[in-house]
């Protein structure tokens, strides 16, 4: 496949970008009275090359996310052959017919958005697999996920399925000009997490991860701030 390239004019290095993101997370944690060690950065490498992943890995980043099973199936073996061993997260929509392939590639699945998908994963899993439930907090019609009022029932149903380790909840906030506008979305997800006795919150991307951290995110999914801007074709 044709991977995106970084816009190199004036671009910082991978190490500098990673240090800048870590610094911003530390500042957000300080404002919220949190320990930065509670927050895991997931570098979303969608459309970027294995070389871009390896550059960031060598700078110290260990968790990487992919949106599509097909792209990951090509990229992950190349990264492995180069001697790197990241923890891979699936952060995009997963079709039920790709559940088996996803289980071979990823350590954690962020976007379990239906009981049907959870059941498909449970049937195909040969060992316990970490998952998060995707919640459409803002009720955007174009997005996947459980409605907030469905979460409690889904948690109970998934507890009865084999080989699923439900770690927490995930959401994709609306794209807004002012990141403060999505604070209520992140706060609602945290309240749902707490009400259901779960541990993790996957929320926040390049545009809004500091707000997400202030509201309790334990996993932030960051692409552009770590890999740089994509060149326009």
**How far are the Cα atoms of 20, 159, 217, 225, 226 from residue 190, in angstroms, in the given order?**
26, 20, 8, 24, 25
Place of tokens 């300080």: 30
**184 sits in which H/E element:** helix 183-195
CB 219 within 8 A of CB 44: no
Nearest to 173 by CA among 196, 194, 145, 152: 145
Rounded Cα gap, residues 15 and 60, in angstroms: 8
Largest CA distance in the chain: 53
Q: Please say if the pLDDT value at position 228 is more than 90.
A: no
| Residue range 207-222, pLDDT digits in tens | 999 999 999 999 999 9
Torsion sign over Cα 95, 171, 115, 147: negative
- What pLDDT does residue 229 have? 79
- What pLDDT does residue 206 have? 96
Q: Is 125 left (phi over 0), alpha (psi -120 to 50) or beta?
A: beta
Mean per-residue pLDDT, 42-49: 96
| Residue range 64-108, pLDDT digits in tens | 999 999 999 999 999 999 999 999 999 999 999 999 999 999 999
| Residue range 142-168, pLDDT digits in tens | 999 999 999 999 999 999 999 999 999
Rounded Cα gap, residues 166 and 88, in angstroms: 17
Q: Where are the alpha helices (DSSP H) in 9-146?
A: 14-32, 50-58, 69-81, 99-105, 115-124
**CB-CB neighbours of 149 under 10 Å:** 8
CB 57 within 8 A of CB 87: no
Q: The whole model's pTM is what?
A: 0.93
Nearest to 205 by CA among 191, 188, 185: 185
CB 183 within 8 A of CB 204: no
Mean per-residue pLDDT, 7-35: 88
DSSP code of residue 9: T
Per-residue pLDDT band for 230 (boundaries 50, 70, 90) equals low
**SS3 state of residue 41:** strand
């Amino acid at each position: 496949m044709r991977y995106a390239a970084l816009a190199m004019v004036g671009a910082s290095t991978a190490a500098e970008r990673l240090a800048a993101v870590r610094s911003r997370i530390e500042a957000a944690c300080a404002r919220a009275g949190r320990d930065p060690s509670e927050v895991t950065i997931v570098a979303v490498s969608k459309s970027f090359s294995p070389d871009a992943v390896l550059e960031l890995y060598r700078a110290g980043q260990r968790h990487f996310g992919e949106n599509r099973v097909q792209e990951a199936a090509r990229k992950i073996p190349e990264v492995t052959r180069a001697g790197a061993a990241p923890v891979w997260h699936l952060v995009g929509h997963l079709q039920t017919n790709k559940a088996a392939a996803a289980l071979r590639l990823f350590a954690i699945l962020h976007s379990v958005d239906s009981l049907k998908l959870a059941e498909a994963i449970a049937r195909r899993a040969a060992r316990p697999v970490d998952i998060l439930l995707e919640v459409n907090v803002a009720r955007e019609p174009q997005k996947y996920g459980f409605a907030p009022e469905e979460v409690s029932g889904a948690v109970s149903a998934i507890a009865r399925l084999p080989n699923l380790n439900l770690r927490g909840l995930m959401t994709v906030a609306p794209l807004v000009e002012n990141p403060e506008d999505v604070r209520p979305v992140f706060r609602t997800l945290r309240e749902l997490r707490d009400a259901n006795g779960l541990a993790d919150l996957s929320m926040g991307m390049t545009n809004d991860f500091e707000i997400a951290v202030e509201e309790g995110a334990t996993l932030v999914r960051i692409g552009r701030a770590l890999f740089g801007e994509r060149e326009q074709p």
